[in-house]
Amino acid sequence: MYARRRHLYFALMGTCLALFVLAWAVVRLWSIPVAVGMCIVAMMIPPVAAMIANRRGPDDRWWDDPSGDPTSDEWWDELDGKKRSR
């Protein structure tokens, strides 16, 4: 899952970069409004790419990772019915 999200993130960011470069290197010679429109579309891609890259998949196990606080971890383990080895 992680590799797929990473590949999709890089594809989206590559598309974003390509839109910016093409808008101002090529398209602006024919139409400034179209170049500005391409840049507006390119501006919307990075937040979407970040959301896709950071979402949790159904196979990701994040809820039972230790937090680093021993007291909190013991409390949550007790609630979950887990025994911690000491």
Note the pLDDT tens digit of each residue in 29-85.
Answer: 999 999 999 999 999 999 999 998 888 776 666 666 777 788 887 887 787 777 655
Helix axes 2-25, 32-54, angle to 10 degrees: 170
Banded pLDDT at 3 (limits 50, 70, 90): confident
8: in domain:
yes
Question: Does 40 reside within a domain?
Answer: yes
Q: State the residue range of the domain holding 27.
A: 2-57
pTM over 0.75? The answer is no
Please give the tally of structural domains in the chain.
1
Cβ pair 67, 74 in contact under 8 A = no
Predicted local confidence at residue 59, as pLDDT: 63
